[in-house]
Amino acid sequence: MSPARFAHTLSRDAPRVCIVAPTGEFSKMSSHPDGETHKPYIPADQILPEITFKAVVLGIVLSAVLAAANAYLGLFAGMTVSASIPAAVISMGILRLFKQSNILENNIVQTAASAGESLAAGVIFTMPALILMKTWDHFDYLQTTAIAGLGGIMGVLFTIPLRRALIVESPLKFPEGVATAEVLKIGSTGGSGVRHVITGGFFGGLFKLCAGGLRVWEESAGIVAHLGKGLFFLGSNLSPALIAVGFIVGLDISILMFLGGAFNWWIIIPYLTSTGDSLLPAHDLVGFLWSTQTRYLGVGAMVVGGLWALVSMRHSLLSGVTSSIAAYKAARAGTSSKVRTEDDIPMPIVALALVFCLVPLTLIFYKYTHSAGIAAFMAIMMTVAGFLFSAVAGYMAGLVGSSNNPISGVTIATILTSSLLLLGLLGADNPLGPPAAIFIGAVVCCAAAIAGDNMQDLKAGHILGATPRNQQIMQIVGVVAAAVVIAPILSLILAAYGIGEKTLEHPNALSAPQATLMMSVATGVFGKGLPQMMVAIGALLAACVIGLDEWLKSRGSSFRTPVLAVAVGVYLPLELEVPILFGGLIAWAVTRAYAALPEDDLETGKRDGVLLCAGLITGEALVGIGLAVPIVMSGNANVLSLQTLMGWTEALKPLNLLGIALLIGVMGMMYHIALGAKRDARKA
């Protein structure tokens, strides 16, 4: 197994795409800090049905199905599949069977549906750790459902005051929210852009089928080379969807992510491999060091970066809360003038809902600890960390998209912080400590997974002109639908396959890689096995990046260094960041090519490029869900592999070059379509 593949297996830890709504005074044009002008697709003064009976039923069914499929797939293969765009496509296909449907109704369906996949990620990354630690011997239905459902609802509630700060007043790109909105618009209107979406969908699906299903070529290509006495990895994932993400987020963020990864994989890992001896082969050693040591650099950086993000957004957050309360009071007094596209769930209701969530969760903690004081401490820690990391997850979704949002990193930071605090409270020898940290982490992970997904939804809704309140309600509906089915699915998996180490009773036990990692963090703190130096170095790196960003800000520089972009880069495998960088370079090259042409030409080129990117993401996501079906039914991740079925392993290895060549061709196509032959030779 290559280090890239080893690292990628452990890093497929994020929720995927979704859709919801928001915006500001969007009956008029609105301006963003980056100078971008936005007008919603559906004007604020136009009322379309959103929450309809058929939309609710379809959203609930899709959420439950996606949660069930991803629960197994995540425990088995360490990954979940993107749900928002596939849900939107499925919704469009089904709703067209009815006489009346509209784009905002489609948006509502996929909002609820994508919550199922996201919640499944939050659950499977944490709760199986309680089985591995022998704290649980089965998945208790009430406790599992309550932790998953209430944690997910908290994630929705936490994003309500964040909407204005992260979407209306922020230049964050939210690449998958943009892609989802474009897919829905094209599906609604058709037009010339459809061919770009279809073209992208074909190539995105083809790559996923050939690499992830048939295994004609590997999903990544790379080598481990010597740098003096040390080792470093050089390679790339072969996913067109990641190049699409890079095109949408642009060159600045792409570079920062790549530099973060280069710091980890080209400086720290070579240093560590040059200072010690190991019996492991070179490629296994690099992957082992990343998963057990240097990954925690990103954890330390994300903790500091998350705190700084909240400090930086404090005024916007306070303004969002106070304006929501004022709007609620105005509505009750009958003096409200708020437009539809600014209608969130009121803050008093948000506060009451949070209390509703906290009480049963605290009772669950008390049932485990038999201590009111410890249970109260856990509830406070859960609430603070839940809001903090929901904000961080939302911010990172805006930077790199929810598919690449490192939710496991957020959860590791939560479990690490909780474990350290519990260590001081309980002492090193108290067996309650590690499971208590996992309980806190489980709630926070579910909240953060839904928060990142929800912010992508809010961005899509911001573009489409949807009603935020309706989408927030439907996100909660989707969370509840998924939570109701997740415990029986986990119990079935545990009984049929087993989770953790292989045994005589369960020779094909599912490995649950993320949950195993969470367990190692919690037990490592209490057993003094945590790489604390790596966490500290990551925190110091984040402080330096923040200082550089503030210096650039003081000089009025157009180039900035948002710390979370670097932190995500440090945490993720380098193979994921290389194609994102390529996508950013293509976007930069397109902008340069249009330097002497009118701005309208550039905007048209960007739009065509985004439509192609939306297709690439859509195609990969749809085929990813399709491939999940035979994997789940057979229990074999290589069920479609030609290498396994035909015994062609050695014969197919040269075809890795074919995958690389086709990927280069896709990049050329992206540049050509965005360039539009220089807008068709300047209209001839």
| Top-confidence residue, 530 or 274 | 274
- pLDDT of 673 higher than 80: yes
pLDDT band (50, 70, 90) for residue 147: very high
The residue-averaged pLDDT of 404-420 equals 81
Residue 325 CA to residue 348 CA, distance in Å, equals 7
What pLDDT, on a 0 to 100 scale, did the predictor assign at position 579?
93
Residue 442: which pLDDT band, with cuts at 50, 70 and 90? very high
Lowest mean pLDDT among 65-79, 136-150, 216-230, 588-602: 65-79
How sure is the predictor about 58, in pLDDT bands with cuts at 50, 70 and 90? very high
CA dihedral over 128, 129, 132, 138, signed as positive or negative: negative
**Residue 483: its pLDDT value, please?**
96
* Dihedral sign (CA 476, 482, 485, 487): negative
pLDDT in the model for residue 564: 82
Q: pLDDT at residue 129 above 50?
A: yes
Q: What's the pLDDT score for residue 448?
A: 92
pLDDT in tens, 507-547: 777 778 778 878 888 888 888 777 889 989 999 999 999 99
Confidence (pLDDT) at 192: 61
Per-residue model confidence as pLDDT tens digits over 151-205:
999 999 999 988 877 887 777 788 888 888 888 888 777 666 778 888 998 999 9
The pLDDT value given to residue 661:
92
What is the chain's Cα-based Rg? 24
For residue 22, pLDDT over 80 is answered with no
Long-range contacts of 655-664 (CB under 8 A, 24+ apart): 655/216, 655/217, 656/217, 656/218, 656/221, 658/216, 658/217, 659/207, 659/210, 659/211, 659/216, 659/217, 659/218, 659/221, 659/238, 660/221, 660/238, 662/203, 662/207, 663/207, 663/238, 663/240, 663/243, 663/579
Compute the average pLDDT of residues 224-230.
Answer: 85
Across 116-120, 235-239, 607-611, 623-627, least confident range? 623-627
Banded model confidence at residue 266, pLDDT cuts 50, 70, 90: very high
Is 214 in contact with 648 (CB distance < 8 Å)?
no
- Is the torsion defined by CA of 662, 400, 479, 470 positive or negative? negative
What phi, psi does 236 have (nearest 5°)?
-155, 150
Which one has a higher pLDDT value, 677 or 553? 553
Whether the per-residue pLDDT at 651 is higher than 70: the answer is no
| The pLDDT of residue 13 | 38
pLDDT of residue 21: 26
Amino acid at 20: V
Q: Binning pLDDT at 50, 70 and 90, where does residue 307 land?
A: confident
78 phi-psi bin (left φ>0, alpha ψ -120 to 50, beta other): left
- pLDDT for the residue 149: 97
Q: What is the pLDDT of residue 152?
A: 96
> 114-123, 278-287, 504-513: which has the minimum mean pLDDT?
504-513
Calculate the average pLDDT of the chain.
Answer: 82
Q: What is the pLDDT of residues 361-375, one digit of tens each?
A: 999 999 999 999 999
> What pLDDT, on a 0 to 100 scale, did the predictor assign at position 191?
62
Q: Is the pLDDT of residue 97 over 90?
A: no
Only one residue has tokens 């260590």, namely: 423
Looking at mean pLDDT, say which of 126-140, 274-288, 586-600 comes out highest: 126-140
Higher pLDDT, 4 or 69: 69
pLDDT of the residue at 5: 45
Q: Is residue 594 over pLDDT 80?
A: yes
Q: Output the 3-class SS for 624-663.
A: HHHHHHHHHHHCCCCCCCHHHHHCCHHHHHHHHHHHHHHH
Report which of residues 252 and 652 the model is more confident about.
Answer: 252
Whether 8 has a pLDDT exceeding 50, the answer reads no
pLDDT at 227: 79
Interstrand relation of 230-237 and 220-227 (parallel, antiparallel or unpaired): antiparallel
Residue 79: predicted pLDDT: 58
Lowest mean pLDDT among 85-94, 108-117, 328-337, 642-651: 642-651
In degrees, rounded to 5, the angle at the alpha carbon of residue 87 between the alpha carbons of residues 71 and 78 is 25
The answer to whether residue 31 scores a pLDDT higher than 70 is: no
pTM across the whole model: 0.76
Output the pLDDT for position 11: 39
Instruction: Read off the pLDDT of each residue in 611-631 and give the average, rounded to a whole number.
Output: 79
Going by pLDDT thresholds of 50, 70 and 90, the confidence category of residue 320 is: low
Q: In 48-167, which residue ranges form alpha helices assigned H by DSSP? A: 53-77, 84-95, 103-124, 128-132, 141-159, 163
Q: Shortest CA distance to 299 belongs to which of 104, 521, 103, 539?
A: 539
Q: Residue 598, by phi and psi: left (phi above 0), alpha (psi -120 to 50) or beta?
A: beta
Q: State the pLDDT at residue 76.
A: 67
- pLDDT of 677 > 80? The answer is no
Is 72 or 364 the better-scoring residue by pLDDT? Answer: 364
- Kindly indicate the confidence band of residue 14, based on its pLDDT and cuts at 50, 70 and 90: very low
